[in-house]
Amino acid sequence: MVNIKNLHKKFGKNQVISGLYLTINEGGIFAVLGPNGSGKTTLIKSILGMVIPNEGDISVLGENIKKNSDYRHKINYLPQIANFPSNLKVKELIKMIKDLRQNTDEDERLIQLFKLEPFLDKKLGNLSGGTKQKVNLVLTFMFDSPLIILDEPTTGLDPISLIRLKGLIQVEKAKGKTILITSHIMSFVEEVSDEIVFLLEGNIYFKGTISELKNKTNQPDFEHAIASILTENHV
């Protein structure tokens, strides 16, 4: 599904990713974790073609992304911050994205799921952060793509919307899709993830299941296992 070889990325003198190798197989939920500045967002944006690496190769769905941008149409991406045009109404934005990508009726089901009907005629600039995130989720899940990338998807969500998001993720997993998630909410990661990838200073410190991480760090629970890595590496 995603294959990364010898990835390097610098911003000025700051080496963000250094010689990273990563293979993510088809199907399942993978959480990309790490402290601030560990390279999570750079990794995600490199996969999406939004950041151009200094060195290395990335293949997505069997295609080298240097040679072809068509693979992006097979990815659903939820950005960490939803920067929508503030003067557009919610329904106008949804229609615009459908016209750009493909026509779908899934938006209607998702609008009902997240109880967005009262907001369809409201301008995006007047919405709360949590409501914008629900719109963000509708735009992400209304298309049928084999790879879904969710950057901090729980931001601003109330408990009921969070439960609905978890349900959506499990439905997509059951269809055999591959889902990449970044999150600072360890309880969410523990509940939904099949595997985690832990980045530290631009490289992979650990890749495997949460049980394997607890065994490796000799810690009783996930949060203590993560804390143990950070303490050990003086982060």
Question: Which CATH number covers residue 6?
Answer: 3.40.50.300
For 49-80, the pLDDT digits (tens) are 999 999 999 999 888 898 788 888 889 999 98
Range of the domain at 139: 2-232
Predicted pLDDT at 232:
82
Predicted pLDDT at 116:
96
The tally of domains found in the chain comes to 1
Predicted pLDDT at 71:
86
Predicted pLDDT at 235:
59
pLDDT below 50 — which residues of the chain? Answer: none
Predicted pLDDT at 80:
84
Candidates 163, 110, 179, 115; CA nearest to 139 is: 110
Q: Which residue has the tokens 């978890």?
A: 166
- Confirm if 143 and 172 have CB atoms less than 8 A apart: no
Predicted pLDDT at 153:
94
Burial of 180 (0-12, 13-18, 19+ CB in 10 A): buried
Predicted pLDDT at 154:
93
Predicted pLDDT at 234:
63
Q: What is the pTM of this model?
A: 0.92
Q: Which residue has the tokens 């659903």?
A: 76
